[in-house]
Amino acid sequence: MTINVLFAARADRWATYEAPLRAAFAEKGLQDVHLATDIPPEAVDYIIYSPNSAVQDFTPYTRAKAVLNLWAGVEGIVDNPTLTQPLARMVDTGLRQGMVEWVTGHTLRHHLNTDLHVLGQDGQWRSYVPPLATDRPVTVLGLGELGGACAEALAGLGFPVTGWSRSQKQIAGVTCLAGAEGLPRALETAQILILLLPLTGQTENLLDADRIARMPAGAVVINPGRGPLIDDGALLAALDSGQLGHATLDVFREEPLPPAHPFWAHPRVTVTPHIASETRPTTAARVIAENIRRGEARENLLYLVDRARGY
């Protein structure tokens, strides 16, 4: 029996995903798969999806067994009232490794103060000896697949790492805190703070003026998670006052970040264009194929979203 799989993402993504998806289906023994961008809704068995696609009403997809998100974040779809099918988020080894590399790179950049020399090529001999990693406490907010991997990698480099999450986690070499009572403790030691939380009603503006004030003076914020996790006005005020020393931001409330936004011109802000980690078609295709295999075998799907929590 043919398995009809609809690819519902931006048109330009089809060219990069078609071949890896077909190869992954073959690897999983899914031989009779019809993969296309234009399958009648009533015939679709699975939807490979990105929230910026044209598909926003899931009502016609009456036989679809699952919606398989191409993005790690699901805030753009999880509250869609027409979505009654199971929703799986993307947890991908390529995405995870990319995030670890970006976070580790920028953590080391701030720890070593490499901007002092990279940006200061003006003939001045600037002597700066950084502390060792063991003397630079780092906090990671969010200990899911991405946050947990980053926390573990930084601990492996010798940083004292504190992690915070909504529910208690256990990661070797990481001090794991949880819940409302754990957040202030996690912030109080954060000389470098990394945000990798999902965006929900509980996490929007989580880093506000009061919580920034709990951090050590001159601390650095690194945000590759979601733009609205931070109160932008509070962040700018803390940078201006010196409470924060720098912010490296990869995600924003509006993307692309408008040219007139004050982040662009602020001397203590580094903007990167949402590149911290990208879903890699080859590795993501294997995750998609495995979930379709599981769906056809009536096994539990991987990485199902808890609608009540929003991730």
Q: Does position 287 have pLDDT exceeding 90, yes or no?
A: yes
Instruction: Examine the pLDDT at 119 and tell me if it is beyond 90.
Output: no
Phi/psi region, residue 99 (left: phi>0; alpha: psi -120 to 50; beta: rest), is alpha
Q: Are 269 and 239 in contact (CB under 8 A)?
A: yes
**pLDDT band (50, 70, 90) for residue 121:** confident
Residues 82 and 122 grouped into a single domain: no
Global confidence as pTM:
0.93
Residues involved in catalysis: 226, 274
Domain CATH for 88: 3.40.50.720
Answer yes or no: is 303 within a domain: no
Let me know: does 279 contact 94? Beta carbons within 8 Å: yes
Residue 304 lies in a domain: no
Query: Are 99 and 155 contained in the same domain?
Result: yes
Asked if the model's pLDDT at residue 71 lies above 90, the reply is yes
Q: Dihedrals φ, ψ of 249, to 5°?
A: -120, 130
For residue range 167-220, list pLDDT tens digits in order.
Answer: 999 999 999 999 999 999 999 999 999 999 999 999 999 999 999 999 999 999
Domain identity same for 167 and 241: yes
How far, rounded to the nearest angstrom, does the alpha carbon of residue 146 sit from its chain's CA centroid? 7
Q: Are 69 and 9 contained in the same domain?
A: yes
264/267 Cα distance (integer angstroms)? 8
80: left (phi over 0), alpha (psi -120 to 50) or beta: beta
Q: How many domains would you assign to the chain?
A: 2
Burial class (CB in 10 A: 0-12, 13-18, 19+), 180: exposed
User: What share of residues in the chain are helix, strand, coil (percent, to 5)?
Assistant: 35, 20, 50
* Amino acid in position 194: I
Domain with 283 in it: 3-92+279-296
Residue 108: phi, psi to the nearest 5? Answer: -65, -35
| Tens digit of each residue's pLDDT (9 = 90 or more) over 11-24 | 999 999 999 999 99
**Residues 100 and 111 both lie in one domain:** yes
Contact, 224 vs 251, CB < 8 A? yes
pLDDT in the model for residue 122? 86
Per-residue pLDDT tens over the stretch 79-97: 999 999 999 999 999 999 9
**What single-letter amino acid sits at 34?**
H
